[in-house]
């Protein structure tokens, strides 16, 4: 019998505690003061740390950013990183989002999969190790963040005071093992000359890390131009819409939303509408920002015209997403999100973009740069996780890369993402009816405990 099986007898306790933490609507928000991600996020963090204390584990809370529970002895530290904040519930739920509902073999609730379920499991892994009185060669910490969903400042702060574990994993993704995460560059390109005389307003996108599915432009135009646009739109598909306004017309375009890490799954409404305007009004001079977006990016998602297209064998192609475009009386800007391959240099890519923007008289401001993660497949951490997976499931785990980002990125190539969602599971993360199959959740619990045991046992 594997060690991981020992967690099965804690199933009822795990579900009971999961229900308790789900009841805290810990949607992270940026605030000032003693609760950096809001009162509820701090409440969830303190709740799980108190629960750990009741179990007899040592705990530390780093200023309500993040904290850990610890078991065992040793110089080195192993870590399991999870988070107790969640994204807002949103609409469309079949059940109360902020509690646990069990139905047809599934558990539902905001955070069951991302990432409160895995957080409770990590806590119980430490409890089992303690109850079984396992002798350790290194300490093991269950590290809990409370601001993962809004930029991971929780871990930056935590690791400014606490050591980075020597070996770690974060069950906040999918099985098997994600040992490569692309680099992320996010920046704003902006112009000092504001709204166009022709385009009074342009709006698209609410966040930088998603493909916008809606864009609109308010255009100043006369009767004859109106007829022309109407004619053009009538010839197009129904993803364009035209409305008369007091000053002219409002033209809208719809596309398909997607995460910025997978722009190929979306259809960007912003670049689509800009292209439509440029092609429809060849006589009009557009402002520099529109010229830049249309000429240097257009509908490309791999950065060819910008001269930054690149790829490697480990993590595929660089991808680019136009996330937000704003042109109005106050600003003229576009926000862009780039995911670049793990062996490439982000600074050089950014330099090239600045150069190209300068040619259009535009400025660039860097918002965020997360370096890539690249952990060797033959490393100790990947080997331990592979063996633990195989011990429980009797088959090999796949090793993959992502354009997304997890806490593994904060670990200086000492850790990777691993679980909790299995291939083919529709967990509906960040969506209504977030859920996990209960049997699979308990499989995850066994794999997680097996890995925890293998990481720390003497
Ligand atoms: Zn998460």
CA dihedral of 383, 387, 389, 392, whole degrees rounded to 10: -170
CA of 354 to the centre of ligand 1 (A): 32
CA of 153 to the centre of ligand 1 (A): 14
420-421 vs 173-174, strand pairing mode? parallel
Tell me how far apart the alpha carbons of residues 111 and 133 are, in angstroms, rounded to a whole number: 31
Q: What is the average pLDDT across 175-200?
A: 89
List, for residues 255-275, the tens digit of each pLDDT value: 998 889 999 999 999 999 999
Question: Is the Cα torsion angle 364, 259, 64, 381 positive or negative in sign?
Answer: negative
Assign 280 a pLDDT band (cuts: 50, 70, 90). confident
Q: What is the average pLDDT across 36-49?
A: 98
Tell me how far apart the alpha carbons of residues 28 and 154 are, in angstroms, rounded to a whole number: 11
Per-range mean pLDDT, top range of 195-199, 275-279, 393-397: 393-397
CA of 11 to the centre of ligand 1 (A): 22
Q: What local confidence, expressed as pLDDT, does residue 232 receive? A: 84
Tell me how far apart the alpha carbons of residues 162 and 396 are, in angstroms, rounded to a whole number: 34
Q: What local confidence, expressed as pLDDT, does residue 405 receive? A: 85
CA of 15 to the centre of ligand 1 (A): 19
CA of 71 to the centre of ligand 1 (A): 24
CA of 5 to the centre of ligand 1 (A): 25
221: pLDDT strictly greater than 90: no
CA of 172 to the centre of ligand 1 (A): 5
CA of 444 to the centre of ligand 1 (A): 16
Strand partners, 322: 336
CA of 77 to the centre of ligand 1 (A): 23
235: pLDDT strictly greater than 70: yes
226: pLDDT strictly greater than 90: no
Could you identify the residue written with the tokens 């990016």?
Answer: 297
Assign 220 a pLDDT band (cuts: 50, 70, 90). confident
SS3 content of the chain, % helix, strand, coil (to 5): 35, 30, 40
Kindly report the number of other CB atoms within 10 A of residue 305's CB atom. Answer: 14
For the domain bounded by 184-370, which CATH number is listed?
3.30.70.360
Assign 368 a pLDDT band (cuts: 50, 70, 90). very high
Strand partners, 68: 60, 143
Q: What is the average pLDDT across 324-348?
A: 95
Per-residue tokens: 96: 């109360």
195: pLDDT strictly greater than 60: no
**For ion ligand 1, residues whose CB falls within 5 Å:** 114-115, 172
In degrees and rounded to multiples of 5, residue 365 shows phi and psi of -125, 125
Q: Please check whether residue 254 is in contact with residue 239, taking contact to mean a CB–CB distance below 8 angstroms.
A: yes
Q: What local confidence, expressed as pLDDT, does residue 236 receive? A: 81
Question: Is the Cα torsion angle 85, 90, 92, 94 positive or negative in sign?
Answer: positive
CA of 215 to the centre of ligand 1 (A): 29
pTM: 0.86
Provide the percentage of residues in the chain whose pLDDT is more than 90. Answer: 84
19: pLDDT strictly greater than 80: yes
Dihedral-angle region of residue 430 (phi above 0 means left; psi in -120 to 50 means alpha; beta otherwise): left
The answer to which of 85-94, 224-233, 392-401 has the lowest mean pLDDT is 224-233
Per-residue tokens: 430: 């960040």
450: pLDDT strictly greater than 70: yes
Tell me how far apart the alpha carbons of residues 268 and 274 are, in angstroms, rounded to a whole number: 10
CA of 95 to the centre of ligand 1 (A): 21
Strand partners, 83: 145
Q: What local confidence, expressed as pLDDT, does residue 284 receive? A: 83
240-244 vs 248-254, strand pairing mode? antiparallel
What rounded mean pLDDT belongs to the chain?
95
Assign 196 a pLDDT band (cuts: 50, 70, 90). low
192: pLDDT strictly greater than 60: yes
Helix (H/G/I), strand (E/B), else coil: 455: helix
Tell me how far apart the alpha carbons of residues 40 and 53 are, in angstroms, rounded to a whole number: 20
Q: Please check whether residue 2 is in contact with residue 391, taking contact to mean a CB–CB distance below 8 angstroms.
A: yes
CA of 145 to the centre of ligand 1 (A): 10
The CATH homologous superfamily for domain 4-181+373-456 is: Zn peptidases (3.40.630.10)
Q: What local confidence, expressed as pLDDT, does residue 357 receive? A: 97
Kindly report the number of other CB atoms within 10 A of residue 153's CB atom. Answer: 17
Tell me how far apart the alpha carbons of residues 260 and 258 are, in angstroms, rounded to a whole number: 6
Q: What is the average pLDDT across 414-438?
A: 94
* Strands across the sheet containing 106-108: 101-103, 106-108, 435-437
CA of 117 to the centre of ligand 1 (A): 11
Per-residue tokens: 80: 């399991």
CA of 308 to the centre of ligand 1 (A): 30
As a whole number of angstroms, the longest Cα–Cα distance in the chain is: 83
Q: What is the average pLDDT across 22-34?
A: 95
Tell me how far apart the alpha carbons of residues 335 and 177 are, in angstroms, rounded to a whole number: 31
CA 362 to chain centre: 29
List, for residues 87-146, the tens digit of each pLDDT value: 999 889 999 999 999 999 999 999 999 999 999 999 999 999 999 999 999 999 999 999
Q: Show Cβ contacts of residue 354 under 8 Å, excluding neighbours closer than 6 positions.
A: 364
CA of 295 to the centre of ligand 1 (A): 36
Strand partners, 319: 339
374: pLDDT strictly greater than 90: yes
Q: What local confidence, expressed as pLDDT, does residue 38 receive? A: 97
Helix (H/G/I), strand (E/B), else coil: 205: coil
Every domain of the chain and the residues it spans = 4-181+373-456, 184-370
- What single string gives the DSSP state of each residue in 73-114? --SSEEEEEEE--B----S--SS-TTS-EEETTEEESTTTTT
């Amino acid at each position: 019998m594997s060690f991981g099986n020992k967690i099965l007898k804690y199933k009822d306790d795990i579900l009971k505690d999961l229900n308790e933490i789900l009841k805290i609507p810990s949607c992270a928000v940026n605030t000032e003061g003693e609760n950096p991600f809001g009162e509820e996020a701090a409440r969830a963090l303190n709740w799980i740390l108190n629960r750990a204390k009741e179990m007899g584990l040592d705990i530390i809370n780093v200023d309500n950013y993040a904290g850990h529970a610890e078991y065992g002895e040793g110089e080195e530290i192993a870590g399991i990183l999870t988070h107790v904040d969640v994204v807002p519930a949103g609409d469309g739920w079949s059940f109360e989002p902020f509690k646990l509902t069990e139905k047809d073999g599934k558990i539902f609730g905001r955070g069951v999969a991302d990432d409160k379920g895995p957080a409770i499991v990590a806590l119980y892994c430490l409890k089992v190790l303690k109850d079984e009185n396992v002798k350790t060669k290194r300490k093991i910490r269950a590290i809990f963040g409370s601001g993962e969903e809004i930029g991971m400042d929780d871990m930056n702060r935590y690791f400014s005071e606490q050591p980075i574990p020597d070996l770690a994993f974060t069950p906040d993704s999918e099985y098997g093992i994600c040992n490569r995460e692309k680099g992320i560059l996010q920046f704003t390109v902006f112009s000092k000359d504001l709204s166009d005389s022709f385009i009074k307003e342009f709006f698209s996108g609410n966040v930088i890390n998603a493909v916008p599915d809606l864009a609109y432009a308010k255009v100043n135009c006369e009767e004859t131009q109106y007829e022309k646009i109407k004619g053009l739109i009538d010839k197009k598909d129904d993803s364009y819409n035209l409305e008369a306004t007091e000053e002219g017309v409002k033209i809208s375009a719809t596309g398909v939303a997607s995460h910025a890490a997978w722009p190929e799954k979306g259809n960007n409404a912003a670049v689509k509408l800009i292209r439509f305007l440029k092609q429809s009004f060849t006589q009009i001079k557009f402002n520099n920002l529109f010229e830049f977006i249309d000429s240097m990016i257009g509908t490309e998602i791999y950065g060819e015209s910008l001269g930054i297209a690149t790829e490697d064998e480990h993590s595929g192609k660089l991808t680019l997403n136009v996330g937000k475009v704003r042109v109005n009386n106050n600003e003229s800007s576009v926000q862009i999100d780039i995911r670049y391959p793990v062996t490439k240099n982000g600074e050089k890519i950014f330099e090239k973009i600045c150069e190209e923007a300068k040619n259009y008289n535009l400025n660039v401001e860097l918002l965020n740069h997360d370096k890539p993660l690249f952990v060797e497949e033959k490393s100790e951490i990947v080997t331990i996780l592979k063996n633990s997976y195989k011990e429980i499931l009797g088959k090999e785990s796949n090793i993959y890369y992502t354009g997304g980002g997890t806490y593994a990125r904060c670990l200086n190539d000492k850790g990777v993402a691993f679980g909790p969602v299995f291939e083919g599971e529709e967990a509906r993360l960040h969506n209504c009816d977030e859920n996990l199959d209960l049997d699979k959740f308990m499989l995850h619990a066994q794999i997680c405990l097996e890995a925890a045991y293998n990481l720390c046992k003497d």
